[in-house]
């Protein structure tokens, strides 16, 4: 039995570990130099869309988030991400821009490792399919109102869309609930750290008509 | 079977979303995103895992001439696994799915599954370790390796990116998990079962034992290093991406050895494809395997990735692997084992043939259709046309996909009926004799 034992130790455990070290651990070590930001640290920079959200939906915003400050923004980001995962948005929307197929013209600058070094990317949401467009540079491409309408009825703003409607992000008065507002805040945060150029000039889809 | 049906219906419902015909629109817990998680997870853990465990429970005692550790433990594991699957579906529909592909199992189910896997391995590995046989048959090599891998893979994939490793490095590990689930859990057990059942049904030994060992070690060495090929051109360090591409292409050598071996085994018995439905399923699956793996070698190259990544091409590929290969093998297993399980011969053999053709045509149609859709989408994006154009252009393809899905489901409907009709027919002396004859293979 001993010789089999040794074989299976090699086959089962060691080859797995070899693969894990080469393909998992080495990237971890390579990226270790880049600091990992907590959600609270990210939330110190509040994008203008979050201020706008407080103005657009003053009652709801006050009820669910209170004042516009890093604490409430961190809370909105957490809730928004949780719902993004629960609804499996990442099955149809990727979150990284590749340096090929002119993706940088359509979506914005090519993704860099440092952008993902924060606790909002635990787990990461790269995705492997794009039925809808990539979202990593979504910040500021559309208004908050557009996103709210889009969650309520995607085809009202994008007639070709096959995205499902999310009526449970809204209350009886069709006002967005905490989940709805948080998701808008989350989506509007994606890419808000790219400050050199206005994100809108990359929106090929907007330039070519439609929304 | 129930989970297989769940998975199929989930898939159909999800496909209909793409035709804007979603039947359950506006129901929160049946939202398409959540239903898709049920579709993929039930295919992997509900359908394939259950069927594989059943197949191993048949094969392992016969290969080792030893009983499993405990029958009662076997039943406990069976009940527990079904409970975990139900919890998984429930959790995902209620919005507790994790954000890891193939690992959307809600976090409160993960520890339970790990315990279940440990129990399962204890139960099934015991006879292998106790066996008095001289030399272990290659099936058992695969099973033992899969036991060691599955626990490690599941733990790595569900915990590291979820709790400890954020961002890009976490993505590298998720990539490993996505691939290892197929490569280190499904593939070795699937091939292990094939190495057992194909020679058994053909009544001749495997063509070459040496080739089977090359296949095993090649798989063991190259498969664990491929995962990052799911995220090419991502911010993951380029050396990891190149490594994954090389390892994936290297594994083609392994694939060729395995395919040559099995078609060598078939040599001289090719009539079995026509006469024995289980063998027909097995070999159809193997042809699909050769095709998918051939496809792999192309699609991991950076050139192909430019166009096909993020498109339906990948969806076609996934269906061809999980259903076209392993699902087909499982159909063969059920056709072989169901009469033994219920002690009655198949009541309606014609329905089984019909089931084969429905499934095969449905799947081939779906794969060709989605592969073409993937090319249309990829080139449309590369041409910088408006996003909506790629969606509108995909519509006809998505319609064909739904029809193909319906065809597959119709086939499985026939199959479920055939199973039911077989189980409920009266067991007479004649039928028992027929089963006894059938079991002499």
Mind giving me the DSSP string for B68-109?
-S-HHHHHHHHHHHHHHHHHHHHHHHTT---SSTT--S-TTT
Contact at 8 Å (CB) between B288 and B366? no
Contact at 8 Å (CB) between B100 and B162? yes
- Model confidence at A210, in pLDDT bands (50, 70, 90)? very low
Interface test with A, best of B310, B380, B395 (most A CBs within 10 A): B310
* A161 has a pLDDT exceeding 60: yes
Return the DSSP state at A124. -
- Model confidence at A24, in pLDDT bands (50, 70, 90)? confident
Query: In B, residues 61-90, which contact A (CB 8 Å cutoff)?
Result: none
Angle (CA) B4-B34-B232 rounded to 5° is: 90
Q: What is the ipTM of this complex?
A: 0.88
Residue B20 burial by Cβ neighbours in a 10 Å radius (0-12, 13-18, 19+): middle
The confidence score (pLDDT) of residue A80 equals 95
- Chain B residue with minimal CA distance to A17? B224
A87 at the B interface (CB within 8 A)? yes
Interface test with B, best of A3, A7, A8, A158 (most B CBs within 10 A): A8
Tokens matching residue A150: 């889009």
- Chain B residue with minimal CA distance to A116? B167
- Model confidence at A1, in pLDDT bands (50, 70, 90)? very low
**Residues of chain A neighbouring B144 (CB-CB closer than 8 A):** 8, 11-12
A206 at the B interface (CB within 8 A)? no
Residue scoring higher pLDDT (B131 or A151)? A151
The confidence score (pLDDT) of residue A16 equals 81
Q: Flag if A124 and B171 touch (Cβ within 8 Å).
A: yes
Contact at 8 Å (CB) between A157 and A168? no
Q: State the alpha helices, DSSP H only, in B229-269.
A: 238-266
**Residues of chain B neighbouring A28 (CB-CB closer than 8 A):** 165, 169, 172-173
Return the DSSP state at A75. H
Q: How far is CA B88 from CA B8, B94, B108, B176, in A?
A: 16, 10, 9, 22
Selecting from A20, A123, A210 the residue whose C-beta is nearest the C-beta of B170 gives A123
The alpha carbon torsion through A80, A84, A90, A93 (nearest 10 deg) reads -60
The per-residue pLDDT string of chain B (441 residues; one tens digit each, 9 = 90 and over) reads 555 555 555 555 555 555 555 666 667 778 888 888 888 888 888 888 888 988 898 898 888 888 888 888 888 888 888 888 889 888 988 888 888 888 888 888 888 999 999 999 899 888 888 887 777 788 888 888 888 888 888 888 888 888 888 888 888 888 888 888 888 889 999 999 999 999 999 998 999 888 988 888 888 888 888 888 999 999 998 889 998 999 999 888 889 999 999 999 998 888 888 889 999 999 999 999 999 988 888 888 888 999 999 999 999 999 999 999 999 999 999 999 888 888 888 888 899 999 999 999 999 999 999 999 999 999 999 998 999 999 999 999 999 999 999 999 899 889 988 988 888 877 665 556 665 655 544
**Separation in Å, CA of A45 to nearest CA in chain B:** 19
User: B258-294: string of b/e by CB count within 10 Å (b at 16+)?
Assistant: bbebbeebbeebeebeeebbbbbbbbbbbebbbbbbe
Q: Please, what is the end-to-end C-alpha distance for chain B in angstroms?
A: 26
Place of tokens 């359950």: B24
A35 at the B interface (CB within 8 A)? no
* A181 has a pLDDT exceeding 90: yes
**Separation in Å, CA of B56 to nearest CA in chain A:** 18
**Residues of chain B neighbouring A4 (CB-CB closer than 8 A):** 136
Q: Flag if B386 and A209 touch (Cβ within 8 Å).
A: yes
**Separation in Å, CA of B242 to nearest CA in chain A:** 10
Backbone φ and ψ of B15, nearest 5°: -60, -35
Query: In B, residues 151-210, which contact A (CB 8 Å cutoff)?
Result: 152-153, 156, 160-163, 165-176, 178, 180, 184
Angle (CA) B187-B201-B137 rounded to 5° is: 55
Q: How far apart are CA B316 and CA B394, in angstroms?
A: 14
pTM: 0.90
The confidence score (pLDDT) of residue B179 equals 87
A80 at the B interface (CB within 8 A)? no
Q: How far is CA B297 from CA B252, B292, B301, B305, in A?
A: 7, 9, 7, 11
Angle (CA) A59-A61-A64 rounded to 5° is: 105
Choose among A85, A86, A84, A109: nearest CA to A99: A109
Q: Flag if A123 and B227 touch (Cβ within 8 Å).
A: no
Interface test with A, best of B105, B121, B168 (most A CBs within 10 A): B168
């Amino acid at each position: 039995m001993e010789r089999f034992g040794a074989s299976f130790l090699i086959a089962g455990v060691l080859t797995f570990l070899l693969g894990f070290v080469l393909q998992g651990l080495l990237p971890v070590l390579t990226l270790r130099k880049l600091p990992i930001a907590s959600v609270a640290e990210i939330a110190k920079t509040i994008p203008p869309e979050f201020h706008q959200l407080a103005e657009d939906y003053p009652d709801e915003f006050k009820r669910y988030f209170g004042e516009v400050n890093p604490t409430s923004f961190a809370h909105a980001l957490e809730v928004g991400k949780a719902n993004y995962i629960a609804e499996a948005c990442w099955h149809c929307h990727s979150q990284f821009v590749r340096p090929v197929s002119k993706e940088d013209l359509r979506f914005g600058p090519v993704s860099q490792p440092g952008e993902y070094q924060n606790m909002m990317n635990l787990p990461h949401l790269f995705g492997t399919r794009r039925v809808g467009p990539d979202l990593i540079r979504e910040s500021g491409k559309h208004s908050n109102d557009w996103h709210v309408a889009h969650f309520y009825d995607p085809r009202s703003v994008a007639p070709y869309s096959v995205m499902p409607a999310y009526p449970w992000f809204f209350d009886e008065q069709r006002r967005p609930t905490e989940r709805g507002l948080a998701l808008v805040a989350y989506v509007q945060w994606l890419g808000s750290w790219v400050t050199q150029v206005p994100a809108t000039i990359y929106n090929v889809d907007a330039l070519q008509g439609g929304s | 079977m129930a989970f297989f049906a769940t998975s199929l219906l989930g898939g159909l419902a999800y496909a209909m979303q793409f035709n804007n015909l979603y039947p359950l629109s506006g129901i929160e817990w049946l939202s398409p995103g959540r239903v898709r998680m049920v579709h993929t997870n039930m295919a992997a853990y509900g359908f394939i895992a259950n069927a594989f465990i059943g197949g191993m429970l048949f094969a392992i005692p016969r290969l080792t001439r030893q009983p499993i550790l405990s029958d009662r433990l076997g039943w406990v594991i069976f009940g527990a696994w079904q409970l975990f699957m139900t919890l998984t579906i429930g959790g995902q529909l209620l919005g507790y799915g994790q954000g890891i592909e193939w690992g959307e199992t809600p976090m409160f189910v993960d520890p339970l599954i790990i315990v279940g896997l440990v129990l399962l391995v204890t139960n099934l590995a015991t006879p292998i370790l106790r066996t008095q046989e001289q030399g272990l048959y290659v099936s058992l090599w695969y099973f033992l390796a899969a036991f060691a891998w599955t626990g490690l893979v599941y733990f790595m994939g569900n915990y590291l990116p979820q709790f400890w490793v954020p961002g890009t490095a976490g993505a590298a590990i998720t990539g490993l998990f996505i691939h290892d689930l197929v490569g280190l859990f499904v593939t070795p057990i699937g091939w292990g079962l094939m190495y057992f059942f194909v020679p058994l049904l053909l009544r001749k030994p495997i063509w070459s034992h040496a080739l089977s060992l090359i296949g095993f070690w090649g798989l063991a060495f190259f498969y664990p290093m491929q995962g990052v090929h799911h995220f090419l051109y991502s911010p993951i360090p380029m050396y990891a991406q190149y490594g994954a591409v090389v390892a994936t292409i290297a594994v083609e050598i392994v694939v060729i050895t395995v395919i040559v071996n099995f078609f060598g085994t078939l040599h001289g018995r090719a009539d079995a494809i026509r006469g024995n439905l289980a063998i027909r399923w097995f070999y159809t699956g193997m042809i699909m395997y050769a095709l998918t793996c051939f496809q792999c070698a192309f699609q991991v190259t950076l050139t192909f990735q430019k166009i096909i990544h993020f498109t339906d091409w990948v969806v076609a590929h996934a269906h061809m692997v999980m259903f076209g290969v392993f699902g087909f093998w499982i159909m063969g297993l059920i056709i072989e084992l169901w009469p033994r399980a219920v002690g009655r011969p198949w009541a309606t053999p014609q329905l089984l043939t019909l089931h084969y053709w429905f499934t095969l045509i449905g799947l081939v149609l779906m794969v060709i259709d989605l592969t073409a859709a993937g090319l249309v989408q990829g080139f449309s994006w590369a041409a910088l046309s408006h996003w909506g154009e790629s969606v509108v252009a995909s519509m006809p393809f998505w319609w064909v996909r739904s029809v193909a899905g319906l065809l597959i489901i119709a086939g499985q409907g026939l199959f479920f009926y055939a199973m039911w009709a077989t189980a409920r027919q009266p067991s007479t002396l004649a039928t028992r004799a027929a089963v006894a004859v059938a079991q002499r293979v």
